[in-house]
Structure 1
Amino acid sequence: MNHARVFRTVLGITVAYSVVLVIWLGWLSHRTPPGTLPMQVFMLVGLFGSFLGIGLLLAQRPPRSDRHLLRHGLEGWATIEGVHPLLPTDHCTELTELDLELVVPGSEPYHGSIVFDVQPVHRPKIEVGETFSIRVDPDNRDRIIVCL
């Protein structure tokens, strides 16, 4: 999870909501029909919750460059030649350096290494000798995405 992106999303939605609340309190609330104040407050709180939920869903999406690479990257595969655990993270995963032999059809195999955040569900797939799918940027062969 990209904590900075989530923080910016929550902050932006809260600031926008505060501006809407100030406009509503200062200009609209006393111009509305009598007896509708509770419903207006209910709607404002509901809209804040809805926008916050939608914003958090969108904040968890991969960045645009990664989505572009997943759609337009060259499909290949990688064979794990070495697994070097680096450190556990605070969300039950472990940063691991993987030494890989990368193969993209139509080109020579090459070697590389990546640092990958291994989730517990993917741990059995991350062993020496295992093969998994990757996407490689056609313009920069050093930029890859693991597709587990």
Structure 2
Amino acid sequence: MDHARIVRTVLGVTAAYLVALGCWLGWLVPLTPPGTLPVQIVTLVGLFGTFLGLGMMLAQRPSRSDRRLRRHGLEGWANIEAVHPLQRTDHCTEITELDLELVVPGSETYYGSIVFDVEPVVKPRIAVGGTLSIRVDPANRDRIMLCL
């Protein structure tokens, strides 16, 4: 999860909402018929929640470069040589460094490491001697993505 993107999204939606609220209070409230103020407030709060939810859904999507790597990256596999747990997070996952032997068909084997947020559901697959599917950027072999 990219916390920075979510924070930027929440701040952006909130800023846009405050601008819309200011416009509504300054220009539209005096022009509306009497008795419609509660409906307008409920509508504004509902729109804020809707746009906040949509923004957070879009913020959780992988970045454009990650989507491009998933589509056009070279397929390969990684043999796990060492697992180094670094830190537990507050959302039941564990930041872990993996030392990998990276194999991409058509090129020579190389070694690298990746820091990965291991979820409890994939923890059994992350063990020394295990094999994971990967995608490698053809232009930069140091840029890899684990495909779990």
State the TM-score, normalizing by the size of structure 1: 0.94
How far apart, CA to CA, are the structure 2 residues paired with 1:72 and 1:98?
A: 24
CA RMSD of aligned residues (A): 1.2
How far apart, CA to CA, are the structure 1 residues paired with 2:17 and 2:123?
A: 42
Aligned residues: 148
How far apart, CA to CA, are the structure 2 residues paired with 1:28 and 1:72?
A: 50
Equivalence for 1:89? 89
Q: Look up the equivalent residue of 1:105 and give its one-letter code.
A: P
Counterpart check, 1:111 vs 2:111: yes
Equivalence for 1:66? 66
Q: Look up the equivalent residue of 2:23 and give its one-letter code.
A: I
The residue correspondences of 1:30-41 to structure 2 (distance < 5 A) are 30-41=30-41
State the TM-score, normalizing by the size of structure 2: 0.94
| CA drift at 1:95 | 1.6
| CA drift at 1:138 | 0.4
| CA drift at 1:2 | 2.1
| CA drift at 1:4 | 2.0
Unpaired stretches in structure 2, ≥5 consecutive residues: none
1:27-70 per-residue CA deviation (whole Å, 9 max, x = no partner) reads: 11111233322221111111001001111111112222111111
Q: Look up the equivalent residue of 2:29 and give its one-letter code.
A: S
How far apart, CA to CA, are the structure 1 residues paired with 2:40 and 2:50?
A: 15
Q: Look up the equivalent residue of 2:52 and give its one-letter code.
A: L
Identity among equivalent positions (%) equals: 73
Unpaired stretches in structure 1, ≥5 consecutive residues: none
| CA drift at 1:72 | 1.2
| CA drift at 1:5 | 1.7
How far apart, CA to CA, are the structure 2 residues paired with 1:36 and 1:97?
A: 58
